[in-house]
Amino acid sequence: MVTQVPRRAASLRQSLDALASGRISASELVQETLARAEDTQRRLRAFAAIPRAHAIAAAADSDRRHAEGRPRPLEGLPIGVKDLIDTRGIETRYGSPAFVGHVPAADAAVVRTLVEQGAIVVGKTTTHEFAWGVTTASEAFGDTLHPSDPGRIPGGSSGGAAVSIADGVVAAGLGTDTGGSVRIPAALCGVTGFKPSHGALPTQGIFPLAASLDHPGLLGARVDDIEVLAEALGIGIEPRIEGVPGEVRVGVICGIGPVHPATEVASAFAIAADRLASIFQIEELEPANVFDGCFDAFARIVLAEGALVHFARHDPDWIAAHYGAETIGRLERAKAVRMEDYAQAQQARRKFSAALARLMAGHRFIVLPTTPCTAPRLGEPELTIGNWSGSVREALMRYTAPFNLAGCPAISIPLHRGAGALPAGLQVVARPGDDAALLRIARQMEQVLHPAEPAPGTGGRRSTP
């Protein structure tokens, strides 16, 4: 009997149904997933580690539990986990050559919750070194490549997670988001990325970048895949939004100056806004000066808090000998940040959060592009978008970092794209604490924007003899 590994992972719910009914065993499902992971790793370098023996042993335990009639809620479900997040018994390098061979003794809190419910870690997905970048490039390990065009970046820093999902290895996984690190690669790779409210998920066991901005996050092929993991992690899913969709007021922000969307993104976003207007009460918002200074404040906070993380752990000579050049350069710049600069940045953050709350008054949600452009080319440090020129980092984070400052939950769902077009994302933002409602409205918006698209993985799980 010859079996064929399916090209794409089924959705999480499809996999759980197949496991529960016995149509597939956890061992078979994990073996299929590992085969896809190894293929994707050869082509796109999306994994820092593929713990084959660990995953196979966990799958055998899941099969025993199913056979004994005592499966847990996520029993046998393969997931990816960003290399920034500790996994017990699995090498975790934090994207850095300084931590090659580092094997944590305990799972991070978010991993532990999922594993205790039966999920199986089949891969550690790549990250920019210490999550301090948006390209998932690495001089030490090789750049992670875009799944649609290997000549482009996948975004970052959770680039490997987005690539693994876009390439069909798994349906969902864990990432982190300090300034857009879940939402940016989700948008550029054409998948879904969710950043909960600040503090909604624990950061214990995750290597910190900037403590006041760090968020664990989730990536999935569809909103439903994210909902499965979010619910398992304690973020409840609302049965419905209060009132019918036509009564839900949604504010639209077409762009954030000075980086206005590129033509292809602006066009796709305008089409999406028109489609949403058929279901929701849509009102275009004028942000005026609300976002002014946001990126500068964010950058100063990250430099200051990031420097504290690294200089508290290692002396400068050790860092110079073990870290990558990009991280070393950021830490050198951080030495120039004064306490006064940091205090002013935090004050700007508070003023922005208050101004954003006023802008959103009367609107439970706002939508805007996730990024102002599609995936830049590999090795392209600067971009020109319309009349604006600047770094790739600034361009990609302009539309995402503000919501880390404010602690708002935000999700990126794919915009519709024509044949041959690169992916782009629509970002939906809610008020802090409104995570469950955000996931529900994102699912409704996804159905409006992609009404005829089948769920990923519906082409069958394996060939028959």
- Closest CA relative to residue 2, chosen from 394, 462, 359: 462
Average pLDDT of the segment spanning 420-427: 96
- Please give the Cα distance from 429 to 190 (Å, whole number): 18
Structural domain contains residue 313? no
pLDDT above 60 for 241: no
pLDDT confidence tier of residue 451, bands split at 50, 70 and 90? confident
Which 3 state secondary structure label does DSSP give 344?
helix
pLDDT of the residue at 412: 98
DSSP 111: H
Per-residue pLDDT at 225 exceeds 80: yes
pLDDT at 459: 35
Residues in the chain: 465
pLDDT band, very low/low/confident/very high, at 441 (cuts 50, 70, 90):
very high
Range of the domain at 276: 12-295+337-449
| Average pLDDT score over residue span 81-90 | 98
> Looking at the domain assignment, is residue 151 inside a domain?
yes
Exposed, middle or buried: residue 295 (CB in 10 Å: 0-12, 13-18, 19+)? buried
pLDDT attached to residue 5 = 81
Cβ–Cβ contacts within 10 Å for residue 30, how many? 24
pLDDT of residue 454: 54
Least confident of 102-106, 278-282, 371-375: 278-282
Could you count the other beta carbons within 10 Å of the beta carbon of residue 391? 12
Domain CATH number, residue 392: 3.90.1300.10
- On whether residue 1 sits in a domain, the answer given is no
Q: Which residue, 32, 24, 25, is CA-closest to 6?
A: 32
pLDDT in tens, 285-311: 999 899 999 999 999 999 999 999 999
Q: Are 264 and 374 in contact (CB under 8 A)?
A: yes
List alpha helices for 11-124, DSSP H. 12-21, 26-44, 52-67, 109-116
How far is the CA of 364 from the CAs of 154, 309, 360, 361, in angstroms? 31, 36, 7, 8
Sign of CA dihedral 168, 202, 176, 359: positive
Which pLDDT score is estimated for 245? 61
pLDDT band at 4 (very low <50, low <70, confident <90, very high): confident
Q: Is the pLDDT of residue 28 over 60?
A: yes
- Dump pLDDT digits (tens) for 315-345: 999 999 999 999 999 999 999 999 999 999 9
Asked if residue 262 has pLDDT above 70, the reply is yes
Q: In percent, how much of the chain has pLDDT > 70?
A: 94
**What are the phi and psi torsion angles at 150 (to 5°)?**
-60, -5
Angle, CA 371 vertex, CA 269 and CA 218 arms, to 5°: 105
- What pLDDT score does 7 carry? 87
Question: Rounded to whole angstroms, how far apart are CA atoms 334 and 323?
Answer: 15
CB-CB contact of 162 with 193 (8 Å) = yes
**From CA 12, how far away is CA 79, in angstroms rounded?**
9
Confidence check: pLDDT of 243 > 90 = no
Region 112-116 average pLDDT: 98
Residue 321 lies in a domain: no
- How many Å from the N-terminal Cα to the C-terminal Cα in the chain? 6
Q: Output the pLDDT for position 462.
A: 33
Return the structure tokens found at 110.
């978010």
pLDDT at 142 (0 to 100): 98
229 HSE (CA, 13 A, CB side) = 36
Structure tokens at 266: 């602006």
DSSP letter for 149, please.
-
- Confidence check: pLDDT of 238 > 70: no
Question: Phi first, then psi: what are they for 341, rounded to 5°?
Answer: -60, -45
Which residue, 222, 232, 263, is CA-closest to 444? 222
Return mean pLDDT, the chain.
Answer: 94
* pLDDT value for 116: 98
Give the C-alpha separation, 25 to 375, whole Å: 38
222 falls within a domain: yes
CA 157 to chain centre: 8
Note the pTM of the prediction, 2 decimals: 0.95
Query: How many whole angstroms separate alpha carbon 300 and alpha carbon 297?
Result: 5
Query: What pLDDT is attached to residue 3?
Result: 60
Whether the predicted pLDDT of 239 surpasses 90: no
Does 407 reside within a domain?
Answer: yes
The pLDDT assigned to 1 comes to 42
Which parts of 380-455 fold into alpha helices (H)? Answer: 392-397, 401-405, 435-449
Mean pLDDT of all residues in 347-365: 96
Q: How many domains does the chain have?
A: 1
Task: State yes or no: pLDDT of 452 exceeds 80.
Answer: no
In this structure, of 52-66, 114-128, 245-259, 269-283, the range with the lowest mean pLDDT score is 245-259
Report DSSP state, residue 246: G
Q: How far is the C-alpha of 264 from the C-alpha of 110, rounded, in Å?
A: 37
Full DSSP string of 40-61:
HHHHH--EEE--HHHHHHHHHH
Distance CA 122, CA 145 (A): 20
Residue 460: per-residue pLDDT = 34
In a domain, 312, yes or no: no
User: Does residue 445 form part of some domain?
Assistant: yes
Q: pLDDT at residue 453 above 80?
A: no
Contact in structure between 45 and 137 (CB atoms under 8 Å): no
Going by C-alpha positions, the residue among 264, 169, 253, 145 that lies closest to residue 219 is: 169
| Confidence check: pLDDT of 155 > 50 | yes
d(CA 160, CA 167): 10
Would you state the pLDDT for residue 290?
Answer: 97
pLDDT of residue 457: 36
